[in-house]
Amino acid sequence: MIVATVLTMGQFTRAEVSFASDGGQRSGHLYRPDVSHPVPCVVMCSGFGSTMDRLFGWAEAFADAGLAALVFDYGSFGRSEGDPRQVVDLDGQLADVRAAVACARANEAVDADRIVLWGNSLGGAHAVTAAADDSRIAAVVAQIPFNGFPRRVEGRSTAQSLRLMAAIVWDALRGKLGLTPHYIPLVGEPGEGAITNAAGAEDHVRTLSGGNSLWRNQVAPRGILQMMRYRPAEAAARLTVPLLVCLATEDAETPVALSSQLAERAPHGRLKLYPGTHFSFYTDPTTRRTVATDQIAFIQEVLCLTPPAMRFTHG
C-alpha cells in the first residue's frame, strides 16, 4: 500500500492511498477519525459505472462517527489504472474489493478484525458476495443493492429494451475481438438509449459530474451480460455476519421485490425501507442523512461501539 497526501478535515483526516489489484494499481482515499488507537473501517464499494467521489459524503459521515472509511475506484474507472476505460468487469471488481479490504487491514490505523463491507447498487451485491467468502468481515451494509434485473423496467418499451440489448451484445462482441468499446450513456432521459432512464436525467448527470468528479456519463454496456448471471442472494444465504439492506420504496432499478431477498436470505439480515427512488440515495440530502444515521447506528450496535455525534456534509 502507498500512502500519499494527507488532508486534515475537522475531526478526521483523509489520506490518498494506492494498492495493487488484478490488472494494476487502484486509487482511493482512507478517512480516519483523529484518534490514536485503531478503529473499525468501512470499506466502500460503488455502483455500476460510478467513481469514489460519489461516496465522499458517506465516508465523511462514517469518519465523523468514529469509524475509518476506505473509498476507491474500480479498475478502468476514475483515478485507477485499467484499459480500456469505463468497462465494468464483475470478476475484476470483486478482486478490487478484496484488495481494498487487504489494504485497509494492513493500515495501522485500522482494527483489522472489525472491517465492515458497504456497497451501493452493484457495489451492494459485491459487498455481500465478497463478505460471504471472507470470515473476518464483521458486518455488511447493502444500499439499494443489485439482485437481478426486473422482467420489465418501468417506462422502457419493448423496442427500447431490444435496442439496449443490441448495444450490449455489440459491445461484448467488440470486446471479444479486441476492439474499442461501444459506449452508451449510463443515465439518460426516458426513451434514450442508456443503461438507466429517469425523468430529469440531465439534472442528475449535472449533480454526479459536478466539482472535481471524474465520473463520466458513459460506460461499455458489456458488463450487463455478466450481471444477468450474477446471484448475490445465493451469497447472502452464506453470510454469517449481520447484514443491513437499505431500499427505496419507488426504486425501478433495484426494486424492493428483488433486492429485499438479500435480507430475507441472510441468516442475520435486516431490511429498512425509505421513501423515494433509486436516485434519492444520490441526490436527496434528507434521504442521505437519514440513511447514514441508520447505517451508523447499525454498525455501532453490531460492533458494540459507543456512538459519537454524526454529521453529513457532502452532496
Please name the residues in contact with 301: beta carbons below 8 A apart, sequence gap of 6 or more: none
Cβ neighbours of residue 96 under 8 Å, at least 6 residues apart?
21, 22, 26, 72, 74, 75, 80
Mean predicted lDDT score pLDDT of the chain: 91
What are the pLDDT digits (tens) for 252-267?
899 999 999 999 999 9
Q: CB of 237 within 8 A of CB of 265?
A: yes
Whether residue 119 is predicted with pLDDT greater than 60 in this model: the reply is: yes
Q: Is residue 223 part of a domain?
A: no
Quote the pLDDT of residue 136: 97
Query: What span, in angstroms and rounded, lies between the C-alpha atoms of 125 and 118?
Result: 10
CATH of the domain at 16: 3.40.50.1820
Say if 166 falls within a structural domain: no
Q: How far is CA 253 from the centre of its chain?
A: 14
In a domain, 315, yes or no: no
**Assigned C-alpha cell, 185:** 450513456
In-domain check, residue 17: yes
Widest distance between CA atoms in the chain: 59
C-alpha closest to that of 64 among 14, 102, 110: 14
* Residue 287: its H or E element: helix 285-302
Q: 140 lies in which domain range?
A: 2-152+230-302
Instruction: Indicate whether 1 pLDDT > 60.
Output: no
Q: CB count, 10 Å around CB of 240?
A: 11
Total structural domains within the chain: 1
220 in a domain, yes or no?
Answer: no
Q: First vs last Cα of the chain: how many Å apart?
A: 29
Instruction: Write out pLDDT tens, residues 34-61.
Output: 999 999 999 999 999 999 999 999 999 9
Q: Are 43 and 107 in contact (CB under 8 A)?
A: no
- Phi and psi at residue 76, to the nearest 5°: 80, 5
Q: What is the pLDDT at residue 155? A: 62
Distances (CA, A) of 51 to 42, 132, 225, 315: 17, 24, 21, 14
Query: What pLDDT, on a 0 to 100 scale, did the predictor assign at position 259?
Result: 98
pTM of the model: 0.93
Distances from the Cα of 208 to the Cα of 215, 219, 291, angstroms: 7, 14, 19
- Please give the Cα distance from 192 to 185 (Å, whole number): 9
Residue 61 in domain: yes
Nearest to 10 by CA among 38, 32, 30, 29: 32
Establish if 278 belongs to a structural domain.
yes
Asked, for residue 20, whether it belongs to a domain, the answer is: yes
CA–CA separation, 58 vs 169, rounded Å?
A: 35
- Name the more confident of 217 and 9: 217
